[in-house]
Chains A and B, each alone.
Chain A
Amino acid sequence: MSKIIDARGLSCPQPVMLTINELENTTETQLEILVDTDTAKENVTRAITSQGWQVAKIETLDDEYKIVIKK
């Protein structure tokens, strides 16, 4: 079970900030990020690729997205 970052309901740039903070401090190689807007989904995917991580998959759950990322 990988660690989950819950960025639902947060407006720009907080989903990206939460994610990058986590990436800088984590020792894990897989993380999950929950977001609820397409903007946050795009911003987070863009940000993590610039940090050397990759999107493993994006699941759509109701109105939300679960972004699974890997180093």
Chain B
Amino acid sequence: MKNFLASRRGIIFVGGVIGILAAFLQKLGNPGNMGICVACFERDIAGGLGLHRAPIVQYVRPEIIGLVLGAFIAAYLFKEFKPRSGSAPLVRFILGAFAMIGALVFLGCPWRALLRLAGGDGNAILGLLGLTVGVWIGTIFLKNGYTLGRTQKTYKAAGFVFPLLMVGLLVAVLLNPQVEGAEKSGILFYSLEGPGSMHAPLIISLLFAIVIGFLAQRSRFCTMGAVRDLILFKHTHLFSGVVSLVVAAFITNIIFKQFNPGFSGQPVAHTMHLWNFAGMVLAGLAFALAGGCPGRQLFLAGEGDGDAAIFALGMIIGAAFAHNFGLASSTAGATPAGMVATVIGLIVCMLIGLTMREKVV
């Protein structure tokens, strides 16, 4: 059967759906220009589980659970569920952790960078420029033979582990629901103020994310791949999906009066241009070296890719470190520790890119 969603029209459709649903989620309660942000929401999950204790970013976001489960359902239905792993998992974990640190210096993953742009946040331009430069550096490594090696087929059960982990998180949320005015409910932490306290109703977040996960798995939607394929092959396929996301979110934001152009006073954002840029250079490079943006990694994990799952876990742990060590930015700006961590991350990613390659013949 021809896969419509993998066609040009398909990817434009999927980008549009993500843009519209994300703007809707913001309207329904998610934080500003954060209808969906894979990095921010994994960070909130780290907080909800108590891996870090930053009080304003604690919530087990059902969106992340839904994205993985939606992709899992799509992969399973269309016989694309192919459990595999073994392509330098530890390196992918480290890439995930530093990708998260870079994203939290900027304050968002590529999806949120696009949503911030569509909401009028000019600082997103610096982030997207940084992302492009980071991915561009990654393509240089790729051209010089960089590879993390081949994956191996593995047991079917191994492919179920990450989706089941998400089911476990969902069960934890259902058994420990938010209690009005309480910071803790059973084993989970909740935010009483700040972005972690702002969220759409659980069931809507979950359903929207399942839809997005399903569509994105079928269409291979990837923001990093969009930039990479444009630089590497001048292919505009994935890029057209990204453009569609921005346009759709922009129009929906106009309708909901969520479009506020400017640089200062933007929601969950800061105006330190250099660090908005540098944070995303680090994130973009890490995504390029790992072969996918944070969203794409979740969809791959849903179709049984254990290495992508390790990357996602690396991001969650990276988020815990980012808040425990004061590396994450706030609306006041990047922190000195965050700046140091960004530079260290860039050095680590460069070393990975330089040292892990096969000779080009």
Contact = CB atoms under 8 A, between A and B. Distances in A.
Interface of A: 8-14, 16-17, 20, 36-39, 42-43, 46-47, 50, 63
Contacts of B87: 9, 11
A8 B233 contact: no
B82 A63 contact: yes
A48 B148 CA distance: 24
Contact of A39 (B84, B147, B220): B220
Sort chain B's interface into a size bin. Answer: 20 to 34
Interface of B: 3, 6, 78, 80, 82, 84, 87, 142-143, 147-153, 220, 222, 225, 228-229, 232-233, 235, 237, 291-292, 307
Nearest to A62: B153
Nearest to A20: B233
Contacts of A42: 3, 6, 220
B233 A36 contact: no
Nearest to A46: B237
A37 B150 CA distance: 12
Given A9-B84, A12-B291, A12-B292, A46 B235 contact: yes
A63 B151 CA distance: 14
A63 B153 contact: yes
Contacts of A43: 220
20 contacts: A9-B84, A9-B149, A9-B151, A9-B152, A11-B87, A11-B148, A12-B222, A14-B147, A17-B143, A20-B233, A36-B82, A36-B84, A37-B82, A38-B3, A38-B80, A39-B220, A42-B220, A46-B235, A63-B82, A63-B153
Contact of A47 (B82, B147, B152, B233): B233
Contacts of A37: 80, 82
5 closest A-B pairs (Cβ-Cβ)?
A9-B150, A11-B291, A9-B151, A42-B6, A39-B220
A10 B149 CA distance: 7
Contacts of A46: 235, 237
A40 to B, nearest CB: 10
Given A37-B80, A38-B3, A63-B82, A13 B232 contact: yes
Contacts of A9: 84, 87, 149-152
A17 B233 CA distance: 9
Contact of B142 (A17, A47, A63): A17
Contact of A13 (B148, B152, B225): B225
B220 A16 contact: no
A57 B220 CA distance: 23
A2 to B, nearest CB: 19
A39 B149 CA distance: 17
Nearest to A18: B147
Contacts of A11: 87, 148, 151, 291-292, 307
